[in-house]
Structure 1
């Protein structure tokens, strides 16, 4: 049986929040596996992602093109609060039904984009800051086929980097990382 997306988002958030809380101020300018982002800008982007996907759960318009500015004040708690709000938004009645967003994707597809971003970017931040990160197995089971289906469009639109070959014996999560343009062995 397919798990409700809110349960999967909760599992992903429980793995991501400690990573964000573990980022120190002196690491904010460090590079990440996302070449265009340092730790600060990736964390800022991820908070924006959480906020925008809350809106999409409620079938509202989102703006991923706006420049994020969420790193003032207690951004670690802000991240945790927005992650909780994301889970609640996708647990609301009707959130997984119908379509949402400008492109009119099925709501579950959009939710899987949020799940993928939360999980992959948590890995990015963990890797960049020397923290351990192991995604929830049920989350990986959900996002691997979902992101593979979205990959051609994501590569064409520049959302994912060029795929990284990971080998046939790679773990499911390493395949996700490679699909999204990340080298699973990346180190700062």
Structure 2
């Protein structure tokens, strides 16, 4: 019927209508929306024209994708932490940021205390240092390795070292790393 209209975000409409007298019914809401069109039309037109800019649209889409990736990574992190509870529960207390590069590498290499059998702390630190980015200071790596190495002595895992859970942990780490890269890119 070629009726001219302007589309507003519901939150924006609510905020704009807050300045009007509040009396909540569908009939009153539609009247107040029409009143917005009458009293604030120039401002609404200007705002609607800004929203159609492709740069803002691209940023909005990227923002939504970013939030989606964070949510997916969090879901996989929860799965990873559940698996670690079976293989080496102490790792969950040692590494607060399980998505960090160092944490993921330690999870891959030493997700079961049996993998540390016969290793000295120095050997463990050297292996981890060689496999992670050189941007992480060796003292930080050594500190975390010492905590893991000491925790392995008292750890009592629920599954053996040859469990399928070990492979699943590695896959979770790969998936989290992939999410990290995409999040950093966005």
Instruction: Give TM-score, length-normalised by structure 1.
Output: 0.25
Kindly name which structure, 1 or 2, has the bigger radius of gyration based on alpha carbons: 2
Instruction: Give TM-score, length-normalised by structure 2.
Output: 0.25
More helix by share: 2
